[in-house]
Structure 1
Amino acid sequence: MDKIRIDKWLWTVRMFKSRTLANDAVKGGRVKINGVSVKASYNISRGEIIELKKNGFNFQFKVLELLKNRVAAPIAITCYDNITPEAELNKYNDWFVGKSGSEFRDRGTGRPTKKDRREIDGFKDDWFDVEFEEGME
């Protein structure tokens, strides 16, 4: 196989959970090949550079292998070379590292009521706003 659609390749190497999400990202202009926005039907080949904007981060990958079907993650990472600049990787790692697990609720307290849920959501929103503003300085 010499070429494959960009949306299908992004899905097969697990950049997106579904092909629809990959297709939407390409249509939305968040995927560029060699610096140029492309359509989802664009056929990529080995050696091309993919610029992917995902969750506010700008990743860059060099295509090493073209796959026909979706594969397991350990196999998928051998199909591309991550050439994302060090500064962008540090930004991603700073964001990702230190994230806590899911919330914990004491056993026997039951599900949160509507009032509890509003308080929890308000607390999370306030905390995120403070953290975001500190990062802007």
Structure 2
Amino acid sequence: MPSPSVPATNEVRADVWLWAARFFKTRSLAKQAIDGGRIDVNDAGCKPAKALHVGDRLKITRGEERLEVEVLALSERRGPASVAQALYRETEASQLARDAMREQRRLIGANAPAGRPDKQDRRELRRLKGSS
């Protein structure tokens, strides 16, 4: 007989699982992301009360970050990060895409100016803008 503190379930609400897996800080933020269309389950839309099962594939968009994960385990309780990471597995394609985006952002940031423009930079900006 299972203990009363850990219910044996084979499905969990999508917003609860996203919160328990630590994709969002609060269940309310997870619900807002789902309502905003930033979460897809098995290549279809999702509602906060959608039942997730082991083996489901989720596409999660957080800002510029896009993740594709497979549900490995279900949990209704938020635990330590090490336990939360055991609830899902990120796909190989998703990892490669995130690494490529990270490298692209790093390269773009390397070309950015390092602070306020000095006198020479201001003159160059004025020349480019066409003012005297």
TM norm structure 2: 0.68
Match of 2:81 among 43, 59, 73: 73
Match of 2:97 among 59, 84, 88: 88
1:3–1:43 contact (8 Å) kept in structure 2: yes
The unaligned stretches of length 5 or more in structure 1 are 100-122, 124-137
Q: SS where residue 51 of structure 1 aligns?
A: strand
Q: Give the aligned CA root-mean-square deviation in angstroms.
A: 2.0
Match of 2:41 among 27, 33, 54: 33
Counting matched residue pairs gives: 99
State the partner residue of 1:24: 32
- Aligned-residue sequence identity (percent) comes to 26
The alpha-carbon distance between structure 1 residues 73 and 34, as it changes in their structure 2 partners (threshold 3 A), is same
- Name the CA distance, whole Å, in 2 between partners of 1:43 and 1:88: 28
The unaligned stretches of length 5 or more in structure 2 are 1-8, 110-115, 117-132
1:34–1:48 contact (8 Å) kept in structure 2: yes
1:7–1:41 contact (8 Å) kept in structure 2: yes
Match of 1:43 among 51, 54, 72: 51
State the partner residue of 1:7: 15
Can you list the C-alpha shifts for 1:74-111, whole angstroms capped at 9, x where unaligned?
11101101115244221343348xx9xxxxxxxxxxxx
Q: SS where residue 67 of structure 2 aligns?
A: strand
1:61–1:84 contact (8 Å) kept in structure 2: no
State the partner residue of 2:126: none
- Name the CA distance, whole Å, in 2 between partners of 1:45 and 1:77: 16
1:30–1:53 contact (8 Å) kept in structure 2: yes
Q: SS where residue 74 of structure 2 aligns?
A: coil
TM norm structure 1: 0.66
Q: Whose Rg is larger?
A: 2
